[in-house]
Structure 1
Amino acid sequence: MSKYSLPDSVRTAHGAKAPWLAIAGGALIILSGLLSWSYDDRILGDLSIRFYPAGIQIYAMLFGVIAVVLGALLLRRPAWLSPARGLRFLGVTAFVFVVWVAAAISYQSGGLINVNEGAYVALAGAVLTAAAGFLSPEVDVDVMAWPRLSSTVEILIIVVLMAVLLFTLAYTLEIDDGVIFASFLVALIALVGGLLATGFGAYLGFIGANNRRPLLLAAFLVAFLFPFTQDGSDANMSIATQILIFAATALGLNIVVGLAGLLDLGYIAFLGTGAYVGAMLSTSAFATVDIKPPFVVVMLIGAATAAVFGLIIGSPTLRVSGDYLAIVTLGFGEIFRLAMFNLDGNNGPSLTNGPNGIPGIPDLNFFGFDFGEVHTVAGIPLGRFSNYYFLLLLLLMFVMLVFTRLNDSRIGRGWVAIREDERAAEAMGVNTFGLKLLAFAVGAALAGLAGTIKAHVDTSVTPDQYIFLESAFLLSAVVLGGMGTVLGVLVGATILKLLPEKLREVNEYRLLMFGLLLVVMMRFRPEGLIASKRRQLEFHEEDEELSELLQAEHLQEAK
């Protein structure tokens, strides 16, 4: 019996009602979308009109559709799905969603009396859906019973899912209201989490593993086509470019933390190193170095300089480990920031202009292509940030290639051995010190590459951009997404960069919400949102279903 289920006696007595409760709950939630949720028509996109659903009401109706589908699946009980788990997750998150919306309506309109009947109907539907999930008898997922489809159908499924992903990304960035954005986020978590809980997500992962190249191609096309969905919006593309910079830097940190297991709390200094190199070698009127090499050379110099700093900090400090290493790297991050303040010509060499930094960094120009100008492609204007977006996308692909190649190499296996047990790895002949030093150097070099581009995107570089909090966010992106994985870090970086931009209305509570998110994650999914199967087994050794899933994947690869 699952720890989240009711006693067997209760489920045996009332389990037959579960499908009908789910269908009834879903129907009520669908009906709620056609009713009025708020008396005040000035808030949350006007939820006062009946039979004309707005954004939040449409989100609720999606809850209902999924609940009805899962309830119908309970009647058939397919061997390769677990509708009960999906209904539990969907019902609980639907309840949270309705309570959140009702609280927002009450707060913005001046009282709970302004919450109309639609919200209460949705709340009743969410309770019925959750009850159906908890009353449903447990059904173990048989991964060997997964439907086997032709390659054409599997590729078509991948294309459809990627198209949905592209639409979702474009729609997400178009939401300006913070409360509506938070409501959409809860709805998205509920819908995706409900499907994943049924085992359908693992099946999609199985399809993706069978079609790695088409999956990578489809993912690249989604990323490439994203600027064409923004109609020249600089605001949204600015967020997208910052996400790519953050993701590329976090992947470099993932080598240090996720693969080698070295806790680095000063990693933002390497990004700052690359940014300052890019700024000092730029054609800015405030640049302090007279040499102006081509930008490709600047990128190499920035990566090499950051790598040297990685070697300098790594050589004396990697003889310590654990908490001591974290304290030393934290100190290095602060030393870098203070050094940038002091290299102003008064307290040290004139390199960084001290606290004023280096402003006025011009846009890049590759062979006559000006990144600062608007270019029209297929009738769609692509502004300044779109131009940098494509450049950063190429950089991110390079960083991903470096990470995956290293991860699959002998070096990567050595890093993992060090992470698991450094003394055992050293006893088996692994050069632990050399590999740890290499991890620091490679991770720092990748961050330096991202920093050289960041300097031109931001048009200025100042010391206060590289504070400890930024290092903490980078580390959190790795832990939240899933250490040692590429997709997990991309998801973690996107979440941690997108949420502050869209929730500016509650900016003073940002760190509080961030801390609560990490606490919840460490309690219910310590391996991260998208973790490697190895780390899942480390945190969930008792999970027999996961072991069976791994066996099924190995058998499929053997075939």
Structure 2
Amino acid sequence: MTTKTTNGTATDTTKTSVAEPTPIIPLPPAAARAATVAGSVVALVGTFLAWTWTEEFPGNLTVTGYPGGLQVLTLISAALTTLFALSGYGIRGLGWLTPGGTNSPTRLLALGVLGTTGYTIGAISYELGGLVNLEPGAWVSGIGALVAVIGALGLPADQGYGPDESPNLWGRIRHSLSAPEPGRAKELPSWAEILIIAAGFGIGLYVFAYGIGTEYSELFIGFLITAGFGFTAVLRAGLIKQLSTLTAKHRNVTMAAAFVAAICFPFTQSNDQYALIGANILIFATVALGLNVVVGLAGLLDLGYVAFLGVGAYAAALVSGSPQSTIGVHFPFWAAVLTGAAASLIFGVVIGAPTLRLRGDYLAIVTLGFGEIFRITMNNLNGNSGPDVTNGSNGIPNIPDLELFGFNLGLPHDVLGTELTRSGNYYLLMLLFTAVVVLVFRRSAESRIGRAWVAIREDETAATAMGINGFRLKLLAFALGASLAGLAGTVQAHVSYSITPEQYQFAGSVPPNSAFLLAAVILGGMGTISGPLIGAALLYLIPAKLQFMQEYQLLLFGFALMLLMRFRPEGLVADRRKQLEFHETGQLDVPEDKPLPEGATGVAKAGA
């Protein structure tokens, strides 16, 4: 059907209907959902059978009737897949799992079951020498997982395919990863919302403690597969968005719940090594949060930020009373903390004052040079190439443990019937420092200065034109970020017993270093509080648990960043500004051939 417009041109006004994408596997919806449920149940039942005949494979998968090791991960994934698939039947009490009625979460969970089970079968075959080492339980769970995936791929496709997406196998999976989240659910009573927040942090604590407590690399890899697909499925279901809405509504309750969950962590670990990983994660996360002030709020690309951590650590080590300290003084801890933060603050101002008039790549190069200059200077202050201050490459060893109010952090203590080890003591101390840094970051971001930083980050020229003193505020951000890093460095010096210049490089196999700190901010989400904390936890935990992959760490790290930039460029936790920047807003474009209304100008046409 064509009609004539006022200028005489003919336009087609026939409405074309867009066909809904058909399932990849041509199954009736009821049959597809039944296959998904049946397959996940079969996979779950298979975890109660033996998967191999020998205990040489870690986890003791030879027991019938009691899942262990990687079988537990398959059991959890299969149970979640069953629940999400059953929610599509409209069963009372399960509808809240998929408030938008989408099938993407079920599809992702089914893929997680297949991924975890398939990895376990492959690992058993590789380590024991072939598929012959598999017992019937492995085959039952493997076949069940495959049936569940086939059924999930046959479920009706979700709406919202973009013009560049295709409802084939890859397009369906990609759409499941990036589909819009459902809208807001109905409001609940305040007490119910508080209970949901507490339950959410409780589940998060359990998952985090389980991941750190994995005793062998095969179990940790399976945990990553299960957690990755599970988190993405929950995100696509809209549950994370609903929890975020509740946490924003009850902000004080959220902060209290997060702090309580973090305090409980060392009491869940019986191995001192795992508690030490938690303490180091907090150090890494606190420094990343300080870098977030510089990069996430002010938009200053700092590639030598780890040097400020080193300044605080060296300052605290020199006044710690170590026998190898060239100064020979012993400050109380509160004075050592102030010394480390003040030293980093001074270095931040000294380095930032002459360089912050630069922008972009030039500033990044200068900060990279500062980081290398710091490391080389610490090496040269050995009494030969320069004054004897830092003992050169030998560093400052034998840093004594802290003693606060008669409480020696180097000794284990019995707290509520549970032994709190040295690492647990330092974890709780670092948690207190993290809470202080979070408070400083939050207050700064919400203040007038924080809004000015964001304006400078978005467009420094426009901000300057509006009367913002860009140089002074950038120097303030640089100094604040440096002092927060120095604060964490004072604790790091005592946790690690010794410090050396090699610990503070731009890139290396062991974090923290400048490259991993910057990646933690980008991975987690720039400008947010929880983003750098999550990013730092992942980037520290994965190398710490997968020592055998240390040679390929940078390769895998780069590959992970490529995937992140492709599927979630705004980071794991993104603010509203980043979501609007990297994703479509849903606004309709004005057709080019649409006639302009009377009185419209050429500027309006160009804008359209």
1:389 is matched with: 427
2:533 is matched with: 490
2:584 is matched with: 541
Is this contact kept in 2: 1:90–1:129, CA < 8 A?
no
1:165 is matched with: 204
Question: Which secondary structure does the structure 2 equivalent of 1:319 belong to?
Answer: coil
Cα offset for 1:467?
1.1
Higher helix share: 1
Aligned counterparts of 1:172 and 1:160: Cα–Cα separation in 2 = 18
Cα offset for 1:169?
2.9
1:556 is matched with: none
Cα offset for 1:343?
0.9
- Residues 94-133 of structure 1 mapped to structure 2, 5 A cutoff: 94-133=113-152
- Residues 379-458 of structure 1 mapped to structure 2, 5 A cutoff: 379-458=417-496
Aligned residues: 539
Flag the structure with larger Rg: 2
Matched, 1:154 2:154: no
Residues 455 and 334 (structure 1), Cα distance of their counterparts in 2 relative to 1, 3 Å cut? same
- Residues 64-463 of structure 1 mapped to structure 2, 5 A cutoff: 64-76=78-90, 80-134=99-153, 135-138=155-158, 146-231=185-270, 233-463=271-501
Task: Single out whichever of 499-508 and 407-416 deviates more from structure 2.
Answer: 499-508
Aligned counterparts of 2:367 and 2:275: Cα–Cα separation in 1 = 33
Cα offset for 1:167?
2.7
Task: Single out whichever of 432-441 and 40-49 deviates more from structure 2.
Answer: 40-49
- From 574, 579, 583, the equivalent of 1:531 is 574
Cα offset for 1:201?
1.7
Cα offset for 1:240?
1.2
Is this contact kept in 2: 1:87–1:132, CA < 8 A?
no
- Structure with bigger RCO (C-alpha 8 Å, 6+ apart): 1
Cα offset for 1:53?
1.7
Question: Which secondary structure does the structure 2 equivalent of 1:520 belong to?
Answer: helix
Task: Single out whichever of 523-532 and 67-76 deviates more from structure 2.
Answer: 67-76
Is this contact kept in 1: 2:321–2:329, CA < 8 A?
no
Alpha-carbon displacement from aligned partner over 1:6-44 (angstroms, at most 9, x marks no partner): 934768974443322321222222122123333443203
Is this contact kept in 1: 2:342–2:483, CA < 8 A?
yes
Task: Single out whichever of 497-506 and 165-174 deviates more from structure 2.
Answer: 165-174
Cα offset for 1:398?
0.4
Aligned counterparts of 2:328 and 2:539: Cα–Cα separation in 1 = 38
Cα RMSD for the two superposed structures: 2.3
Is this contact kept in 1: 2:298–2:474, CA < 8 A?
yes
Q: Which runs of 5+ in 1 are unaligned?
A: 545-559
Is this contact kept in 2: 1:82–1:199, CA < 8 A?
no
Aligned residue identity for 2:411: E
Aligned residue identity for 2:71: Q
Cα offset for 1:72?
1.7
Cα offset for 1:191?
2.1
Aligned residue identity for 1:260: A
Aligned residue identity for 1:481: G
Cα offset for 1:421?
1.6
Residues 226 and 9 (structure 1), Cα distance of their counterparts in 2 relative to 1, 3 Å cut? closer
Aligned counterparts of 2:415 and 2:543: Cα–Cα separation in 1 = 31
Cα offset for 1:440?
0.8
Cα offset for 1:266?
0.7
Aligned counterparts of 1:458 and 1:505: Cα–Cα separation in 2 = 22
Cα offset for 1:113?
3.1
Is this contact kept in 1: 2:181–2:236, CA < 8 A?
no
Identity of aligned residues (%): 46
- From 506, 528, 542, the equivalent of 2:549 is 506
Matched, 1:58 2:101: no
Aligned counterparts of 1:458 and 1:129: Cα–Cα separation in 2 = 48
Alpha-carbon displacement from aligned partner over 1:72-131 (angstroms, at most 9, x marks no partner): 222237783344110222223333222322221121111233234434443443344344
Matched, 1:28 2:42: yes
Alpha-carbon displacement from aligned partner over 1:506-537 (angstroms, at most 9, x marks no partner): 33222222222212111111111111122122
Is this contact kept in 2: 1:12–1:137, CA < 8 A?
no
2:173 is matched with: none
Residues 53 and 279 (structure 1), Cα distance of their counterparts in 2 relative to 1, 3 Å cut? same
Task: Single out whichever of 209-218 and 237-246 deviates more from structure 2.
Answer: 209-218
Aligned counterparts of 1:52 and 1:178: Cα–Cα separation in 2 = 21
Runs of 4+ aligned structure 1 residues displaced above 4 Å come to 9-13, 139-145
Is this contact kept in 2: 1:249–1:271, CA < 8 A?
yes
Cα offset for 1:400?
0.3
Is this contact kept in 1: 2:303–2:368, CA < 8 A?
yes
Aligned residue identity for 1:491: I
Aligned counterparts of 2:564 and 2:137: Cα–Cα separation in 1 = 32
Aligned residue identity for 2:285: A
Aligned counterparts of 1:99 and 1:344: Cα–Cα separation in 2 = 54
Is this contact kept in 2: 1:87–1:130, CA < 8 A?
no
- From 24, 44, 48, the equivalent of 2:58 is 44
Question: Which secondary structure does the structure 2 equivalent of 1:346 belong to?
Answer: coil
Cα offset for 1:178?
0.5
Aligned residue identity for 1:499: I
Aligned residue identity for 2:113: A
Is this contact kept in 2: 1:265–1:471, CA < 8 A?
yes
Cα offset for 1:256?
0.8
Aligned counterparts of 1:438 and 1:444: Cα–Cα separation in 2 = 10
Question: Which secondary structure does the structure 2 equivalent of 1:381 belong to?
Answer: strand
1:549 is matched with: none
Residues 236 and 520 (structure 1), Cα distance of their counterparts in 2 relative to 1, 3 Å cut? same
Aligned counterparts of 1:265 and 1:120: Cα–Cα separation in 2 = 50
Question: Which secondary structure does the structure 2 equivalent of 1:526 belong to?
Answer: coil
Aligned counterparts of 2:147 and 2:57: Cα–Cα separation in 1 = 28
Aligned counterparts of 1:356 and 1:59: Cα–Cα separation in 2 = 45
Aligned residue identity for 1:413: R
Cα offset for 1:253?
0.4
Q: Which runs of 5+ in 2 are unaligned?
A: 1-18, 161-179, 508-512, 588-608
Aligned counterparts of 1:240 and 1:292: Cα–Cα separation in 2 = 28
Cα offset for 1:139?
5.6
Is this contact kept in 2: 1:70–1:83, CA < 8 A?
no
1:479 is matched with: 522
Is this contact kept in 1: 2:520–2:536, CA < 8 A?
yes
Aligned counterparts of 1:57 and 1:543: Cα–Cα separation in 2 = 43
Aligned counterparts of 1:14 and 1:350: Cα–Cα separation in 2 = 78
Aligned counterparts of 2:132 and 2:408: Cα–Cα separation in 1 = 56
1:550 is matched with: none
Residues 451 and 10 (structure 1), Cα distance of their counterparts in 2 relative to 1, 3 Å cut? closer
Aligned counterparts of 2:475 and 2:401: Cα–Cα separation in 1 = 35
Question: Which secondary structure does the structure 1 equivalent of 2:103 belong to?
Answer: helix
Cα offset for 1:542?
4.0
Instruction: Give TM-score scaled by structure 2 length.
Output: 0.84
Aligned residue identity for 1:66: L
Aligned counterparts of 1:176 and 1:6: Cα–Cα separation in 2 = 47
Task: Single out whichever of 286-295 and 74-83 deviates more from structure 2.
Answer: 74-83
Aligned residue identity for 1:229: T
